[in-house]
């Protein structure tokens, strides 16, 4: 049995307070009024996680003023090395003990290469300006994922109010 994300669009996003790769602490409550893409990934410098981070990097300009955060249980130092190695222009957040991932449902039982283990389930959450979930992506498949998020955000922006 694998964990499933129980959060759904319209739900309040669980608050978090995490240290970023830039040494600053980020709290969701302090980011009200900003749209956020919060993506959970298992580990720095692994092929899939590197591809996902680079896809967000390569498309960041298309996200406009949306804040992008990558989240994993890797240390701040590991995040700093990973961000520098791949010129990531967004902050990676350190989630010790995967506590925030657990609140979001992005942690649980998973099967890889026939072996069952507990860990981060690759997931992405779009949080709107009011702190509510605008989109939830569980068990993310990397190929085409960033494009899908961009497409969904564009559709949401066209419907939502415009403000400076």
Which single residue is written with the structure tokens 């961009």? 150
**Token pair recorded at residue 139:** 């068990």
Phi, psi of 57 (to 5 degrees): -60, -50
CB 132 within 8 A of CB 12: yes
DSSP SS3 for 157: helix
> Could you give the angle at the alpha carbon of 157 between the alpha carbons of 86 and 10, nearest 5°?
95
Choose the catalytic residue: 37, 49, 71, 121. 49
Catalytic site residue 49?
Answer: yes
The number of helices, as runs of H, and strands, as runs of E, in the chain is 4, 9
Catalytic residues: 49
């Amino acid at each position: 049995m694998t964990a499933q994300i129980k959060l759904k669009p319209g739900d309040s996003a669980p608050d978090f307070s995490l240290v970023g790769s830039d040494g600053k602490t980020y709290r969701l409550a302090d980011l009200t009024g900003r749209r956020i893409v919060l993506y959970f990934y298992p580990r720095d410098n692994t092929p899939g996680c590197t591809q996902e981070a680079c896809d967000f990097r390569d498309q960041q300009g298309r996200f406009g003023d949306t804040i992008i955060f990558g989240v994993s249980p890797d240390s701040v130092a590991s995040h700093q090395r990973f961000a520098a190695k791949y010129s990531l222009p967004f902050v990676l957040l350190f989630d010790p003990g995967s506590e925030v991932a657990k609140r979001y449902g992005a942690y649980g039982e998973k099967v890889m290469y026939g072996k069952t283990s507990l860990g981060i389930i690759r997931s992405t959450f779009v949080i709107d300006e009011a702190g509510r979930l605008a989109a939830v992506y569980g068990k993310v498949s990397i190929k085409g994922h960033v494009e899908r998020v961009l497409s969904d955000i564009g559709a949401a922006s066209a419907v939502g109010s415009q403000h400076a």
